[in-house]
Structures are given as C-alpha cells and as structure tokens.
Structure 1
Amino acid sequence: MASSSGLRLLDAKADRLLINSDGWKEAIKLVTNAVRDKFIYLQASNQNSEEMAEAFYRGQATMTINGPWLAKELKARALFDSASKSFEWDIATMPVDPSSPDESANVHVSEIYAVSEDSPNKQAAWEFVKFVNSADMVSAASRTANGKLPARSGVLKDIEGKSTEPFYLLTPKTTPSFEESLGSTAASKEFNQLFQPVLSEELQSIIDDNQTVEEAIAVLEVKGQEALQKAKSKKAEK
C-alpha cells in the first residue's frame, strides 16, 4: 500500500525517516483497520506465494494478489479436486492509488536485454536483442508455462481461458516504490533488518488497540532513526 501511494520511508539521502507524515498515518490506519476487521489475511513472514494463495483456494479469501502462474495452479486443482471444479474465478487489476489510477507499483519488467556500452561486438549484440524481442520469439516464449507474461501486449491473450488484459491495463508507477526508496546498499539492507521487527511490533500493537496510530508513529520515528544511524555506523566500520 505504501508503494501504491508513492510513500517513501527515507529521504533522498537516506539520512532521515519520513514516517511522521499524513500519508503514512493514513496508510497505517487503513492497513491496521483492515487487518483488525479481518478484511486482510495477515500471512506469516515465512510463507511463500503458494501458501499465501491457500486461503483463496479454501474460499476464505475473496481476492489474492499473485502472478500469472496461479491460473495454471487453479486449473490443476480443478482437475484433481472435485470441490475445486465449480470454483469460479477471474483476473482483475491490482489495487491502485485513487490519485494515480492508471499506475501500479507492482508492474515491473523482470528481464531486460540490452547492449553494453563497452561491448566489443555491438552489432552482433544488437541483432540478438532484436531477435529476443521479435514477434516470433515472443509468440514462441508465450507458449512456455514459465509463469511470466511477455511485455508485448496482444501476444498471449488468455491464460486458461481467462483474459490477460488486466495485466496490461496499468503502467509502472513513475515514483519509486517503497522498496526502491530504501535502496539496495549495505546500510539500507542492514536498516531494513533492524526496522522491520520494530514496524511489525508497533503495527500489531495498533491492531490490538494497545496504542493509537499517532503513538505508534512517534515510537517508529525514534526507533527507526536509531536503526538508521546504527546501520550507517556498521557500514562505516566495514
């Protein structure tokens, strides 16, 4: 939800937490209320995507957020599980931020072929890139059940009889996602490891009605800043 709303946790220099803002307060209220009222299934931190979809299989969740591979899994279940044969489902777009309804932070490209600036064989590399992105190659790749979709729309029009159009309706969000705003440096990874347990604890405290959102944010701002400084100190020591 933070990514969809374009919220950043750290400033551009990764020196200061930005969690004490109206945007973060609204996001935290929305999430904690939804979890408390059982609108969102809170999965365990060690669950993979297949385990997360299990509540959807069992009819305990109306929606699950997952990739194209799930369509084939649903068909396989219907073949071997009599209870799943009448299970009606379809594909919808990801939830979006009302202020940018045509964008999604969850639309991304997993593989990009490009030519290195320092390549000694630029022409041959460029011919390969053109081949990989050709209509014939995309058409052939779309027939392989690898759980991915081609970037070129109109090639793979359906999965197990369900239209793939929802996957192509949204464009990537122009602002950095929540995860991207954290960066990928050693310090940011260290910070994330230190901050996530604190964040989980404070969110759970709100869900349990032990404190208000404002009180939790005050704690997160202090402890988060401490975690950030600790992470930077560890990086400096290395």
Structure 2
Amino acid sequence: MNSKRLSGLGIRKIALLGLTLSLLISLLAACSGGSNESAEKRVLRIGFVSGSADMESYYRQQYTDTYEIMNQNIEIEIVNAINYDDQRFEQTEPGKPSEQPDPYEKMKEMLTGQNPVDVIVFDYNQLRRLTQDNLLQPLDPLVTQDKFDLSDYVPTVMDGIKSAGDGNLYALTPTFSSSALFYNKKIFADLAISPPTDKMEWQEVFNLARQAAKGEGEDRNFGFSFNRWMSDGFNDTQVYSQALQLKIWDDKGEKMLVNSDQWEEVWNTVASFYKDEIVPTQQYMQTMYEKQSEMGGGHDPFNGDLFIKGRVAMTIGDYGYINELKRASDHASKIKDFVPVDWDVVTVPVNPNDPETGGSIYLSQLMGINAKAQNDKDAWDFIKFINGKDWAKLKSRSVYEMVARKEFLKPIGGLQYNIDAFTTLKPLPPASSDADMVYREKPGIWEAQQFGYQLFQEVIEEKKSAREALAEWETKGNAVLERLKTNPEGGNGGIEVMPMPR
C-alpha cells in the first residue's frame, strides 16, 4: 500500500514538473516577442564587420546568448566580413606588404552574397553609405506596425541615426558613447569665476580658460585641455576644426581647403594657447616627469592626467572618464598628497553657427536588417529585443557606455552630476560618403596632412604667421594630391615629409 502511495506521489510530482516546464517555456516564448510561434528550427545570421574565432565567444556573450536561450527554435550564426585570422596567418613575399581588405566592400559582399546575413552590426561612419547603396531595410514601417515604443530614446542618438538616413530610421543601437566638458569646481570657486554652462560657444569657453589659467612653473594651473591626455598643438587644431566642420581637402581629395579665414582663426587660437600656457605644454610635462624621476620615480596611477590631479580647469572627456574620476576618489586615501577633484560636466562647446549641434557621439553597435535578408522576421524580432527596455535595464550597469533609452540613464555609482550634458546636443553630421571613399581610394592622402604638423610648430615658435603657414600647407598639400591622381598609394616623390606625432 505504501508502495502505491509513493507511486502516486511520484506521478503527481512528474505531472507538476511537466506543468512547471510548460509554463516556463510559455513565459520565455512570450518574453521573446513571439518568435516561438512555430517549433520549426530557424537560422538567424548576424554579421559583424570584423572578427575571429576567438571573438565569436565575445560577440555571443555580448549580443546573442540571452536571445538564443529565450528562443529555443532560433539558431544564431555569427559571420565576419573580415576574419582577422586570415590576415594573421597569411604568408606574403619578403618586402611586400600584405593587401588590406576594404571593410565596406567586404561588408557589402556579406550582405549581397549567395547566403547573405540577416542582421548587420556596424559603426556609425558606415551608416550613410549603407543607406545610399540601399543595403538596409527601413525600420520605420516595422516600428509603426508593432507599435515599438521609441519615445524614451535619447534624442541625440535618434537624431544621429536619422541624419545619416536622410530622416529615415535604418538602424537602432542599444548603447552609445558621448563626450562632455569636465570642469574643476574648486578652481572656478577660488577665482570667483562663473563656471562653464551648457551650450557655450567655443570662444566663450576659451575666454574662461584664459581667466582660469594662473600660477607659475610647477604651480601652474591650466585653463583648458582638448583632451585629458598630453597632446600637441596640431592635433588640437584638428579637434577644434572638426568641431567647426572645417575640412582639410575637398570631398574628392583633389584640392586643399586650409588657406582660409576660418582655418587661420583656428590656428591662431590654438597657437596662442600654447604660447600663453593656457593649455599644458610639452615643456611643462617634461619638467614634471624629470622631477618625478629625480624623486625616485614611483608609480603614478594617473599617468600624466592633469585634470584628475587638479591642474586643469576644463577638459573634454568621454563618459567612461567618470568611472576613472570615481575610482580616484574612492582610493584617495592610498595616494600621497592627493585631493580628489570636485567636478561636474556641461555640454562640449558649440559652433555659433549651429548651437544645437556639437555632440561627439560614438555609435559602435548599430544594428540594421539586410535588404536581402532571408529571415527578416526574426531579424526584426532580435533587433527589438536588443533595443528593448529589459535589455536597456541590464546594460545600464555599464560604467563605460550609456544606454540609448533615457529611462535607464542614471549617474554612475550614485554620483551627482549633469548627466544631460552627454545627451543634449545633436551629433555632428557624418562625413559624406565621398569623403570616406577618398581614404580608401587614395591611401597616400595622409602625406598631404603631415605637412601641417611641422608648419604649426613654426607658428607656435613665431617663425611664420598662421596665414603664411597655411598657404604653404596648401601648396605642398596640393602637390601631393596632384601626384595621387596617378599614384594613389603615395610615396613622397622627393618631398620631405615630417613624421606625424605619436
């Protein structure tokens, strides 16, 4: 009799377990957005611009494992347009450089070949060309059809995506990176100067920098730095000129555009910052390194980062810099004579001709549906899942990137700062497809840029005026561009070319 009772209990337990599993499967199917309507096994091919066998594991952990668990009838295949292993193990003739594949052309083959991928993951600078070549499906009809809520998407991200698609939505991204202007609150308070605010023009920030730069020698506090690391004047002119949407050459790479009033203003401004020590100079940094060496060296956890050391009033940094500032503050007691920076952020400076634009937005995980996708239904379901609120909630824990859904954008580690500074401005418009093509069709075009480095040093040293140096850069650059018409690979042809700084 006891045996029969145990048998009955066992049957009931098995039945209960079966019911539980059935409910769990139903729940997972519901969470997946309906992809489990059919038990038929289906393949979803997801393409990446580059990768290798080792990177496939990372791609799966980062993007697909959770979706695959929740969609048991979907098999994910990872495809790389460029396989790093092919280049790593390729044997080339001595003295002959290996041929570098064109990323865009390889990606195009992956999208249009006999077995095309369904989803493509790519960078922002490739979006405009993909849409112009009609390689992506528009997502607007799918968003409308499924009533997929994008109302809380960060406007700067949505604006950036649509601006590359002529106002249409061809891709979505779950995360993004952005930059802001970090400032030292104590420096401004001690000098009784009003700190920077959102949407200040570049010249307004530069004026503040001059007011904030004080002190002599080792005790110098600098007003501004174009980035948190030691740089040089020429690279700083590139940052400033790009923010003003100036170009070195035309979109076809046939004519230099640097001999202009706008470029002269850029060079004069940045050169004066170095001559007046408004920005950290290489001489100052060398003095600091020599002093550290004389005192026995020792480990510098900040590796020359002068903002974190309280020596720079303002600097441009990306979102991940917040984590570095927090870590420094959390471990301040372990660092001799270190006082954590009291900081906040505002938007990066803006161009007065376009005060709503200026955001340095980096969209590296854009996802679109191939126009020739064999499984576009599951492709859209996957993109919805990765760009949904549940996924955004998980990714909001990251300290290096921001989630595209504003609902889950929270300050890191309970800190208090102006997080809107990273999302307020529209991103700078993407380069035209013609401009991108120049670098692929004329690999030697970098030679035309190199002249600018040495010429700018001569401006700082007051050997030439900015306009004289720019006119010389124009002449030498045009000579290079002319040679590239018959020899796109370059080769200085007897012209002395200064090495670019590292």
TM normalised by structure 1 equals 0.84
Are 1:24 and 2:263 matched, yes or no? yes
Are 1:213 and 2:466 matched, yes or no? yes
C-alpha distance in 2, partners of 1:31/1:182?
Answer: 27
Query: Residues 191, 51 of structure 1: CA spacing in aligned structure 2 closer, same or farther, 3 A cutoff?
Result: farther
C-alpha distance in 1, partners of 2:368/2:309?
Answer: 43
Q: Provide the residue aligned with 1:70 in structure 2.
A: 321
Q: Provide the residue aligned with 2:378 in structure 1.
A: 124
Q: How far does the alpha carbon of each residue in 1:177-222 deviate from its partner, in whole angstroms, 9 at most, with x for none?
A: 9xx9465633554212x13431111111111111101110111001
Residue identity matched to 1:158? P
Q: Provide the residue aligned with 1:112 in structure 2.
A: 366
Are 1:172 and 2:411 matched, yes or no? no
Are 1:198 and 2:437 matched, yes or no? no
Are 1:56 and 2:307 matched, yes or no? yes
1:36 CA displacement: 1.8
Comparing 98-107 with 18-27, greater Cα deviation is found at: 98-107
SS at match of 1:114: strand
Q: Provide the residue aligned with 1:149 in structure 2.
A: 402
Higher relative contact order (CA 8 A, sep 6+): 1
Q: Is the CA contact (8 Å cut-off) linking 1:191 and 1:227 kept in structure 2?
A: yes
C-alpha distance in 1, partners of 2:488/2:386?
Answer: 40
Are 1:163 and 2:402 matched, yes or no? no
C-alpha distance in 2, partners of 1:232/1:61?
Answer: 45
1:158 CA displacement: 1.3
SS at match of 2:368: coil
Q: How far does the alpha carbon of each residue in 1:96-139 deviate from its partner, in whole angstroms, 9 at most, with x for none?
A: 11221110152232220111112111010111111111111112
SS at match of 1:104: strand
Q: Which runs of 5+ in 1 are unaligned?
A: 45-49
C-alpha distance in 2, partners of 1:78/1:116?
Answer: 46
Are 1:137 and 2:391 matched, yes or no? yes
Q: Is the CA contact (8 Å cut-off) linking 2:271 and 2:459 kept in structure 1?
A: yes
Query: Residues 52, 79 of structure 1: CA spacing in aligned structure 2 closer, same or farther, 3 A cutoff?
Result: closer
Q: Provide the residue aligned with 1:47 in structure 2.
A: none
Structure with the higher strand share, 1 or 2: 2
C-alpha distance in 1, partners of 2:383/2:282?
Answer: 40
Query: Residues 185, 169 of structure 1: CA spacing in aligned structure 2 closer, same or farther, 3 A cutoff?
Result: same
Query: Residues 33, 189 of structure 1: CA spacing in aligned structure 2 closer, same or farther, 3 A cutoff?
Result: farther
C-alpha distance in 2, partners of 1:130/1:43?
Answer: 49
Q: How far does the alpha carbon of each residue in 1:59-88 deviate from its partner, in whole angstroms, 9 at most, with x for none?
A: 221122221111111111112223555420
Q: Is the CA contact (8 Å cut-off) linking 1:35 and 1:207 kept in structure 2?
A: yes
Q: How far does the alpha carbon of each residue in 1:131-187 deviate from its partner, in whole angstroms, 9 at most, with x for none?
A: 111111112111133x1112222421212412321001101123639xx94656335
TM normalised by structure 2 equals 0.42
1:231 CA displacement: 3.8
Are 1:229 and 2:482 matched, yes or no? yes
Q: Is the CA contact (8 Å cut-off) linking 2:396 and 2:403 kept in structure 1?
A: yes
C-alpha distance in 1, partners of 2:485/2:306?
Answer: 40
Q: Is the CA contact (8 Å cut-off) linking 1:104 and 1:171 kept in structure 2?
A: yes
Query: Residues 23, 176 of structure 1: CA spacing in aligned structure 2 closer, same or farther, 3 A cutoff?
Result: farther
C-alpha distance in 1, partners of 2:449/2:322?
Answer: 32
Q: Is the CA contact (8 Å cut-off) linking 1:187 and 1:231 kept in structure 2?
A: no
Query: Residues 105, 229 of structure 1: CA spacing in aligned structure 2 closer, same or farther, 3 A cutoff?
Result: farther
Q: Provide the residue aligned with 1:93 in structure 2.
A: 347
Query: Residues 52, 18 of structure 1: CA spacing in aligned structure 2 closer, same or farther, 3 A cutoff?
Result: farther
| Paired residue total | 228
SS at match of 2:242: coil
Q: How far does the alpha carbon of each residue in 1:2-25 deviate from its partner, in whole angstroms, 9 at most, with x for none?
A: 111111221132211111111111
SS at match of 1:185: helix
C-alpha distance in 2, partners of 1:12/1:4?
Answer: 17
